[in-house]
Amino acid sequence: MAILKDAHPEKIAQFEHEFAAQAIAKLISSKNGASVADIGCSYGNSTIFFAKNIPNAHIVGVEIDSAAVEGAREKFKGEQNLKFVQGDARETGLPRESLDAILCCQVIEHLNKEDQAKAINEFKKILKPGGVLVISTPDRFILELQGTAGLQPNHVRELSRDEFEELLKSHGFSIVGVYGQGLLKNEGQSGMRKFLNVLKRYDVFKIRRIRLLKGVVDTLDTKTQPIDLDSYPRQLLKREEHALNLIIVSQKPLGQ
């Protein structure tokens, strides 16, 4: 996932998972025995969080990597309301209209444009009418200001906030709220920030691999960040606001 500080990925993920669980629980609170899927769950660390924080729900973790699925099954084999299956975001293998809610964190940016559309269409297919989709991805606009757009490992197509919202709306989802972590505080770039961004992309002298110089560069990188590095808890974004990590809560219409 796109993180705010290399030293704190767990903290960012924790807030993301806490918020997603709260959002889903609030929207499906009247449904006893609700069905929830965590798609792209890896080894199940987010899935177990939902199993413990959404009362009386049946949780399924879906992961494309068979080794991760087996690891998750072994790790959480004592959990009664939790199971893991192998599946793809584009074709989960889950029954049509079987889910009350879906969580999909930091997956969509690993797909190309065609596959992103396939994934959202699959989510719509397996959600019940009125079902909730909580999905997160980094905002490409922020990554560009940081000088890291297109450089994140295994990212195929990063989305801006507008593109992210349009992707969901084009498949019939209504937006309940757009939330963010790592809020944009300074859109303008200093000369030092521009230099650092160029260095990240074209470090031909391998400056960042030299321990002493890497420390200097990383310190300058932190001091010139365009985002608030301490805004881990999610915040509801206004229409014009951006954040490094976007979390969109949406719903499938009742009539679909």
Residue 91 lies in a domain: yes
pLDDT tens digit sequence for 123-160 = 999 999 999 999 999 999 988 888 878 888 899 999 99
pLDDT digit string, tens, across residues 49-106 = 888 888 788 999 999 999 999 999 999 998 888 999 999 999 999 999 999 999 999 9
Burial class, 238, CB count within 10 angstroms (exposed 0-12 / middle 13-18 / buried 19+): exposed
CATH of the domain at 27: 3.40.50.150
Residue 210 lies in a domain: no
Determine contact, residues 139/243, Cβ cutoff 8 Å. yes
Residue 32 in domain? yes
pLDDT over threshold 90, residue 170:
yes
23 or 31: whose pLDDT is higher? Answer: 23
Cβ-contact 234, 16 below 8 angstroms: yes
In a domain, 110, yes or no: yes
Prediction pTM value:
0.83
Task: State phi, psi for 152 to the nearest 5 degrees.
Answer: -70, 135
Structural domain range at position 21? 9-139+148-181+232-251
Residue 7 has pLDDT above 50, yes or no: no
* Inside any domain, residue 165: yes
Pair 249, 132: CB distance under 8 Å: yes
Instruction: Look at residue 234 in the predicted model and tell me its pLDDT.
Output: 61
Residue 196 within a domain: no
The structural domain count of the chain equals: 1
Does residue 117 form part of some domain?
Answer: yes
> What confidence tens digit (pLDDT) does each residue in 28-42 have?
765 678 999 999 999
The single-letter code of the amino acid at 78 is G
| Cβ 123 vs Cβ 99: under 8 Å | no
Q: What is the pLDDT of residue 153?
A: 81
End-to-end CA distance of the chain: give it in Å, rounded: 32
Q: Are 89 and 122 in contact (CB under 8 A)?
A: yes
| The pLDDT value given to residue 3 | 39
**Residues of the chain with pLDDT > 90: what percent?**
48
**256 part of a folded domain:** no
Between 118 and 216, residue with greater pLDDT: 118
